[in-house]
């Protein structure tokens, strides 16, 4: 076989070979380890990680989730071009200037937690004046609460994370802490707390409304493209059903502690 015929055969084989399908696009996100909503130790990177992946699959994409302390996660997710965005955030007027918010990917119920034998009575947020309250640095706890903190009416001390704040509460270094309801119960159940310690914690949830959380895509042309594609795909996904199934699959650890 001469060289020209050999060359022709090679070209023919290349043209007739099936084209290998490209894999799904990988979108990289930054967040904080925050079980049961986000955790590499949980199926699907936690509840919100599972909801996120369900929507991305409709976009022929998949997520890579990197974990950092919350402030670092926000910095990287919103500014580092290696990332598509930060997960998962409450929407505020201030944050609207920083990123493009997706449609909701679940919700959070913020509560006030305190000790059963040292109750904190408050019919409204303003009644917490003079109470030493633990919060987490960088978290939004709702505009009404955050505004009272900015005005100086409420006194808060920022901690690194919820687990640290909870231990400070048990050691009476705080009178109360602001925390997410299901995250609190999950932490108490799985982080080395005794039954006696768990029984000391009660919550009041009437002070805070339930709030939706969102993917915060970078405020770039690419981020806007991702946000629009995500919202379109999310309309075709039954997120409520996925959430119900997820709670059932991981058991009862995410149920809230007793209310006062």
Q: pLDDT digits over 130-170, tens only?
A: 999 999 988 889 999 999 999 999 999 998 888 899 999 99
Contact 86, 29 (CB under 8 A): yes
Q: Is residue 154 part of a domain?
A: yes
Q: What is the CATH number of the domain that holds 101?
A: 3.40.190.10
Q: In terms of domains, do 101 and 76 share one? A: yes
Q: Which two tokens stand for residue 35?
A: 């079980």
User: What is the pLDDT, as a whole number, of residue 118?
Assistant: 95
1 in a domain, yes or no? Answer: no
Domain end (from 187, 204, 221): 204
Contact indicator for 209, 76 with CB cutoff of 8 Å? no
What pTM does this model have? Answer: 0.80
For residue 13, tell me if it sits in a domain: no
Domain shared by 31 and 94, yes or no: yes
Helix (H) or strand (E) holding 178: strand 176-180
Domain that holds residue 130: 109-204
Nearest-angstrom CA–CA distance, 27 and 129: 43
- Taking the CB of residue 89, how many other CB atoms lie within 10 A of it? 23
* Residue 16 belongs to a domain: no
For helices 221-234 and 46-58, the axis angle rounded to 10 degrees is: 90
Whether 82 is covered by a domain: the verdict is yes
Both 101 and 49 in one domain: the answer is yes
Q: pLDDT exceeding 70 applies to what percent of the chain?
A: 88
Considering the domain architecture, whether residues 102 and 215 belong to the same structural domain is answered as: yes
DSSP assigned state of 21: P
For residue 163, is it within any domain? Answer: yes
Q: Is 86 helix (H, G, I), strand (E, B) or coil?
A: strand
Domain annotation covers residue 70: yes
Arithmetic mean of pLDDT, 238-260: 77
């Amino acid at each position: 076989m001469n060289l020209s015929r050999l060359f022709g055969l090679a070209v023919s084989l290349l043209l007739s070979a099936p084209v290998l399908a490209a894999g799904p696009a990988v979108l990289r996100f930054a967040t904080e380890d925050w079980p049961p909503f986000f955790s590499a130790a949980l199926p699907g990177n936690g509840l919100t990680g599972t909801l996120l992946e369900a929507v991305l699959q409709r976009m022929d994409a998949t997520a890579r989730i990197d974990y950092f302390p919350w402030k670092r996660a926000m910095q990287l997710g919103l500014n580092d071009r290696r990332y598509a965005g930060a997960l998962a955030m409450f929407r505020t007027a201030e944050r609207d200037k920083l990123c493009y918010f997706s449609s909701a990917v679940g919700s959070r119920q913020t509560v006030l937690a305190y000790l059963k034998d040292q109750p904190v009575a408050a019919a409204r947020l303003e009644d917490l004046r003079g109470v030493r309250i633990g919060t987490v640095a960088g978290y939004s706890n709702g505009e009404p609460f955050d505004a009272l903190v900015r005005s100086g009416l409420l006194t808060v001390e920022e901690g690194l994370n919820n687990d640290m704040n909870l231990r400070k509460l048990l050691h009476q270094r705080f009178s109360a802490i602001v925390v997410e309801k299901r995250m609190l119960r999950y932490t108490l159940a799985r982080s080395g707390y005794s039954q006696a310690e768990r029984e000391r914690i009660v919550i009041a949830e009437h002070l805070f409304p339930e709030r939706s959380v969102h993917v915060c895509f970078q405020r770039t042309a690419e981020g806007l493209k991702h946000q629009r594609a995500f919202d379109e795909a999310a309309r075709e996904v039954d997120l409520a059903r996925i959430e119900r199934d997820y709670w059932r699959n991981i058991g009862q650890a995410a149920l809230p502690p007793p209310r006062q």
